[in-house]
A and B are shown apart, each in its own frame.
Chain A
Amino acid sequence: DADVTQTPRNRITKTGKRIMLECSQTKGHDRMYWYRQDPGLGLRLIYYSFDVKDINKGEISDGYSVSRQAQAKFSLSLESAIPNQTALYFCATKDSDSGIAGELFFGEGSRLTVL
């Protein structure tokens, strides 16, 4: 199932570098989300978007920015990466028409290491 695709899958970078993680989906969903996963901390929401012109901060948005270039694309940027941003990043999508019970569909994750 490649409906939600994240690139790159793995990235090693240095402190201070700018990094972009990309997410694209073919599911036709309007809502897209970026989470990060850390051992012992679970999944925490970074940003989410209900459509191209509606972007919202999550619980840990500091140090991150996003761009919703089209309904199908939602990019996460780290303007100046720092080591504590080392994590596994997940993109997810949801169809708003699916209502309260609707499922989030996740990508395979992008593992980022900041040295």
Chain B
Amino acid sequence: AQRVTQPEKLLSVFKGAPVELKCNYSYSGSPELFWYVQYSRQRLQLLLRHISRESIKGFTADLNKGETSFHLKKPFAQEEDSAMYYCALTPSTGFQKLVFGTGTRLLVSP
């Protein structure tokens, strides 16, 4: 079974502070992991994917297979980063469906 856990429902930080949104997964095979984001009044959209090793809007995420984690990090949070963030998983053997975590709401205060 595939399972994604995001332990924090809400993460509140001040502008300029570092941010880390936690994501842990449970999957017996090799996973591909993603972060999706939903800004206020916007559609859910892809933020970044592990396979691309990318940095988007200053966010990065590293896959740690030993700890089965894919935490999302940003060194200096901005107010416009306030949103709902979802971690998601699909087997690396082939994309059939995405399994999402429960989401973390990030609130960045001025």
Q: Which residues of chain B from 77 to 110 have any CB-CB distance to chain A below 8 Å in the complex?
A: 86, 90, 92, 94-103
Query: Cβ of B9 < 8 Å from any Cβ of A?
Result: yes
Contacts of B36 in A (CB 8 A): 104
By a CB distance below 8 angstroms, the chain A residues around B98 are 33, 45, 104
Instruction: Give the contact-size bracket for chain B.
Output: 20 to 34
Query: Which one of A42, A100, A108 lies within 8 Å of B32 (CB-CB)?
Result: A100
Given contacts A40-B102, A100-B51, A101-B32, contact A45 B97 (CB under 8 A): yes
Q: Is the CB of A45 within 8 A of B99?
A: yes
Chain A residues 85-110 with CB under 8 Å of chain B are: 90, 92, 94, 96, 99-104, 106-109
Contact A103 B97 (CB under 8 A): no
Q: Is the CB of A12 closer than 8 A to any CB of chain B?
A: no
Q: Is the CB of B43 within 8 A of A106?
A: yes
A interface residue numbers (CB < 8 A to B): 1, 4, 33, 35, 40-45, 48, 58, 90, 92, 94, 96, 99-104, 106-109
Contact (Cβ within 8 A) A42 B100: yes
**Smallest Cβ-Cβ distance to B2: which chain A residue:** A59
7 closest Cβ pairs, A-B complex: A42-B102, A43-B100, A106-B44, A103-B46, A101-B51, A42-B103, A106-B43
